[in-house]
Amino acid sequence: MGEVFRFKRQQNVGPRPRRRLSVPWHAVAGVACGALIGAWIAGPITDQLRPIVGARAVFSLCAGAGQKNCVIDGDTIRQDGLTIRIEDIDTPETYKPKCASEAARGRRATDRLVELLNAGPFEVVYTGGRDRDRYGRKLRTVMRDGRSLGDALVAEGLARPWDGARRSWCG
């Protein structure tokens, strides 16, 4: 005949008791949300630290907002649609110059920057200072073979080292 199986009755049948976390869940959730919000506000750190290499881009003078790779003026470029202010130099203004000599020198600096960028591969490097200026432009140094392209403009008399102060290019 058939076998009879007997099951031992379990004690304490019902839901298992909950384990208590040593850290309250809302503290963990708050830290995680804070980290996510901080990363969203600051932007990805890897974008700041990773150099942007301009090996294949061909630069021209900017003629409109839609251009991806162009030179706005002697110390500002647009690369892959991102506006970058070259942080280690100051060049004469081409937009609303204060005098004719500033306008002429600004055009020469702008044209020379186009030549320098198109002369070969370069890197746009974040040096660890401020990420953006008051206009929202990325503040970066443009380097080729370990040397700043801004230094080349300074050596040619088309720029001066940026010291944090705006000074006149006239007279």
Q: What distance in Å separates the CA atoms of residue 135 and residue 87, rounded to the nearest whole number? A: 13
Active-site residue numbers? 85, 93, 137
pLDDT in tens, 31-60: 555 554 555 444 444 444 455 555 567 999
pLDDT at 155: 96
72 has a pLDDT exceeding 90: yes
The pLDDT value recorded for residue 12 is: 57
**Concatenated DSSP letters for 5-55?**
--PPPPSS-SPPPPPPPSS-HHHHHHHHHHHHHHHHHH--HHHHHSPEE-S
> What confidence tier does 3 reach under pLDDT thresholds 50, 70, 90?
low
Range 146-164 average pLDDT: 94
Per-residue pLDDT at 10 exceeds 90: no
Residue with the bigger pLDDT between 45 and 167: it is 167
Domains of the chain and any CATH numbers:
45-161 (2.40.50.90)
Is the pTM here over 0.85, yes or no?
Answer: no
The mean pLDDT of the chain is 80
Specify the 3-state DSSP secondary structure of 102.
helix
Averaging pLDDT over each range in 41-50, 72-81, 161-170, which range is the top one?
A: 72-81
In this structure, which long-range contacts are made by residues 99-102, counting pairs with CB atoms below 8 Å and at least 24 apart in sequence?
A: 99/169, 99/170, 99/171, 101/169, 101/170, 101/171, 102/168, 102/169, 102/170
